[in-house]
Structure 1
Amino acid sequence: MENLKEINIVPRKTLEKIKPYSPGKPIWEVQNELGLTKVIKLASNENPLGASPKAIAAINSFVTEIHRYPDAGAKLASAAIAAKLDIKAEEIIVTNGGDELISLVSEAFLEAGDEVVVPSPSFSEYEFGAHLMGAKTVPVPLAENYQYDVDGLLAAVTERTKIMYICSPNNPTGTYIPAADLKRLIEALPKHVLLMVDSAYSYYAYADDYTNGLEYVGAGYPVIVLQTFSKIFGLAGIRVGFGVASEAVISTIMKVKEPFNVNALAQAAAAAAITDEEHVLASVHVNDLGREQLYKGFSELGLNYTTSMSNFVLVELGAEAKSIYDQLLAKGIIVRYAAIWGLPHHIRVSVGLPEENECLLESLKEIMG
């Protein structure tokens, strides 16, 4: 067989702008790389209590049906979510994690050359969705103490703006946009701009003036709210999230959705988990205690941190942040080095169980002398 000629398949130009998502290291990889038996993962904002027991029971009862294709419309999950949130099932789209919703919204509404306004630093998938469609991202830096700059966001809007993202509580900072500021932003936005309120971490927020944005969908604004089962419900491993918007927006997004995008076990788990109040309350409680435990420990170490409305804390370590991250990893403690968000002096620490948090704090104390 003669040698093949040189292959020169040219990818789309827009892919030059896309950086593959960089997830936190899984436990097994760290164990294999470093020969460790015990590893603590505080990197991916997962629920340390595990999955909703109701979700696990639903999966076990449904597992014999996995030879069937899943419901393309995720009707049972949509109905359960609708009943919980007191909205119409037609205003819901169930997706393969929140990430897929971001991609679907991008595919449904963006043309090449459109603009997408994104806060910075924030979740990288907003930019991924924009670049995927050849759109331009317009980053708006967060203000002092990582607060949202409403005037800056509005000033970034042009006739080419199609989508704006607000992540509240924001990943990786843990800060949020107060209800009054969100109201001012939504009322001032031109009607040709779709606002996505990513409230994936909303269950952890405790401020009196916090809102997940759902009331604006009911009021008829061009808003879509993203929520996920990966965090408070503990279903990160089976990938299921959902979006809430007007029927018109949902029906448009449905046109670009794959027919069987959410697997059958994820649908069954989501329908059960959304009703699991006991697990939600327990998860919030352990997070509140763990967050305060971390605050106290960081303060005793003389470290600056950002007060968080979520299940993680952004901590400033200074110029040695990367070295400290590596040393923690060598001890079997996985956190997230924040250089990927343009914060090379910081790490992001997920709130774990009390003993996990204590192990992190003791290791930091050893490393920092």
Structure 2
Amino acid sequence: MEGKPVLTQLSPYKQGKQTKEIQEEYGLDHIVKLASNENPYGYSEKVRQNLIDGLPEFNIYPDGYTGKLRESLSLRLNFNQNQFIFGSGTEEIIQMLCRSFLVAGSNVIMAAPTFPQYKHYALIEGAAVKEIPTNKHGYHDLERMLAAIDEKTKIVWLCSPNNPTGTVISDKDFESFMNKCPKHVVVAFDEAYYEFMDREADVNALSYINRFHNLIVMRTFSKAYGLAGLRIGYGIANEQIVTTLDKVRGPFNTTSIAQFAAVAALEDQSFIEHTYDKNKKVKAAFETFLDTIGWEYYDSETNFLLVHTPVSGMEMYQYLVENGFIIRPGELLGIPGTIRVSIGTEQEMEELQRLLLQFYQDRMKVL
């Protein structure tokens, strides 16, 4: 049997080696994973306590309407409950958008590099993908993205903060883009790393939703909230977009335990503030270290840095993994000669800095 012809051009998602596998391969007792932009501080104690006090009934199907979480977000963000769509992470919402709006002969526009699943799901639906390179500093080139739009364009993907560069779209540039973007194009604004942004960098994308009916803003509980293992995210848009997406959404696509945990996590904003403060402090210290050894990096409003390295990203990956640190080589992200490093705890990053300093000093001796 054969699948769609386009699938011969695609590869299944391949996750990196798991901690136990690396420990066994290199004979290591301790591994620090800084490859997936997860929250090193775990998740809210309120989530843990609520799960201890009373788990959902696992023999009963979950609430397909995601009622309690929908109500909580509606009150917190001041949107009508019918303006929310929920998915197994924002990735499922990306898939819903592609299934809902793309057909053979249509096209989408995205930055390059950015989150690769935009392209992956668009190709599966038979759409063409127009990739517009970011500028030399890793920022979206919004003018070129606008110029690439034609009558067959169905979706423009904007990722802010952008993965893997960490850069954000400014308020002024975003408003200009929305005013110029044709109304037949869905603008999918991905804010997976929203909670890590400095407040002055926030474009307040939600304030545009009721002004521009072609906009959907996506957020997740996987990153700052620390619920990556439960897979739950959401989108906010006008009711027409949400109704369209609901037609392709699976009837019970988010689990009871994910909904339960997300409600509790949302109630504990002190945990988010703690995560934000720690990340900002530790990231700044890591940036200072990189400055001292002369390694450049992209501006980042996230919990990771994309760092230029004096050797290939794959070589840096190999050196670090052999010493117990897992990072993401830029060659796998479309940016050779870089590594993407998630910001860990203060102790983890100090250990990483010692390794990088040793590599730098050994490298200088060779030169």
Secondary structure of residue in 2 paired with 1:118? strand
Contact 2:168 2:201 in 1 (8 A): no
Secondary structure of residue in 2 paired with 1:292? helix
After superposition, the Cα gap between the structure-2 partners of 1:265 and 1:105, relative to the gap in structure 1 and judged at 3 Å, is same
Alignment of 1:153-172 (within 5 A): 153-172=145-164
The yes-or-no answer on 1:72 pairing with 2:26 is: no
Matches of 2:169 and 2:245, distance apart in 1: 26
Q: Deviations over 1:11-70 (max 9, x none)?
A: 211212323234343322322332322000111111111012222223333425112111
Matches of 2:204 and 2:114, distance apart in 1: 17
Q: Deviations over 1:62-104 (max 9, x none)?
A: 4251121110111111111111111111100111011101001
Q: CA deviation at 1:213?
A: 1.3
User: Between Structure 1 and Structure 2, how many residues are aligned?
Assistant: 361
After superposition, the Cα gap between the structure-2 partners of 1:64 and 1:81, relative to the gap in structure 1 and judged at 3 Å, is closer
Q: Deviations over 1:294-335 (max 9, x none)?
A: 101111222111121111001000333321210100111001
What residue is the counterpart of 1:25 in the other structure?
A: 17
The yes-or-no answer on 1:36 pairing with 2:28 is: yes
Alignment of 1:332-343 (within 5 A): 332-343=324-335
**Runs of at least 4 residues of structure 1 off by over 6 A?**
none
Contact 1:112 1:133 in 2 (8 A): yes
Q: 1:203 aligns with which of 185, 189, 195?
A: 195
What's the TM-score once normalised by structure 1's chain length? 0.95
Secondary structure of residue in 2 paired with 1:325? helix
Q: 1:304 aligns with which of 292, 296, 300?
A: 296
Q: 2:74 aligns with which of 73, 82, 90?
A: 82
Letter in 2 for 1:364: L
Contact 2:290 2:296 in 1 (8 A): yes
Letter in 2 for 1:38: H
What residue is the counterpart of 1:256 in the other structure?
A: 248
Letter in 1 for 2:269: E
Contact 1:207 1:309 in 2 (8 A): no
Matches of 2:82 and 2:241, distance apart in 1: 10
Contact 1:163 1:195 in 2 (8 A): yes
What residue is the counterpart of 1:216 in the other structure?
A: 208
Contact 2:74 2:81 in 1 (8 A): yes
The yes-or-no answer on 1:280 pairing with 2:272 is: yes
Matches of 1:84 and 1:27, distance apart in 2: 37
Q: What is the CA RMSD across the aligned residues, in angstroms?
A: 1.4
After superposition, the Cα gap between the structure-2 partners of 1:64 and 1:253, relative to the gap in structure 1 and judged at 3 Å, is closer
What residue is the counterpart of 1:6 in the other structure?
A: none
Matches of 1:322 and 1:337, distance apart in 2: 5
The yes-or-no answer on 1:47 pairing with 2:39 is: yes
What residue is the counterpart of 1:344 in the other structure?
A: 336
- Point out where structure 1 has 5 or more consecutive residues left out of the alignment: 1-8
Q: 1:126 aligns with which of 118, 129, 146?
A: 118
After superposition, the Cα gap between the structure-2 partners of 1:153 and 1:336, relative to the gap in structure 1 and judged at 3 Å, is same
After superposition, the Cα gap between the structure-2 partners of 1:269 and 1:257, relative to the gap in structure 1 and judged at 3 Å, is same
Q: CA deviation at 1:10?
A: 1.7
Contact 2:313 2:331 in 1 (8 A): no
Matches of 1:43 and 1:149, distance apart in 2: 26
Q: Deviations over 1:145-193 (max 9, x none)?
A: 1122121010110111000000000000011110110111111011100
After superposition, the Cα gap between the structure-2 partners of 1:71 and 1:234, relative to the gap in structure 1 and judged at 3 Å, is same
Matches of 2:280 and 2:254, distance apart in 1: 31
Secondary structure of residue in 1 paired with 2:82? helix
Matches of 2:52 and 2:41, distance apart in 1: 19
Matches of 1:240 and 1:80, distance apart in 2: 15
Matches of 1:114 and 1:18, distance apart in 2: 19
What residue is the counterpart of 2:365 in the other structure?
A: none
What residue is the counterpart of 1:355 in the other structure?
A: 347
Secondary structure of residue in 1 paired with 2:254? coil
Contact 2:316 2:339 in 1 (8 A): no
Letter in 1 for 2:156: M
Matches of 1:75 and 1:24, distance apart in 2: 35
The yes-or-no answer on 1:176 pairing with 2:168 is: yes
Matches of 2:46 and 2:265, distance apart in 1: 6
After superposition, the Cα gap between the structure-2 partners of 1:175 and 1:207, relative to the gap in structure 1 and judged at 3 Å, is farther
Matches of 1:260 and 1:64, distance apart in 2: 15
What residue is the counterpart of 1:93 in the other structure?
A: 85
Matches of 1:212 and 1:98, distance apart in 2: 19
Matches of 1:32 and 1:253, distance apart in 2: 44
Matches of 2:14 and 2:309, distance apart in 1: 21
Q: Deviations over 1:244-274 (max 9, x none)?
A: 0111110110011111110100000111111
Contact 1:138 1:156 in 2 (8 A): yes
Q: CA deviation at 1:205?
A: 1.1
Contact 1:84 1:274 in 2 (8 A): no
Q: 1:240 aligns with which of 223, 232, 240?
A: 232
The yes-or-no answer on 1:316 pairing with 2:308 is: yes
After superposition, the Cα gap between the structure-2 partners of 1:320 and 1:119, relative to the gap in structure 1 and judged at 3 Å, is closer
After superposition, the Cα gap between the structure-2 partners of 1:230 and 1:267, relative to the gap in structure 1 and judged at 3 Å, is same
Letter in 1 for 2:100: A
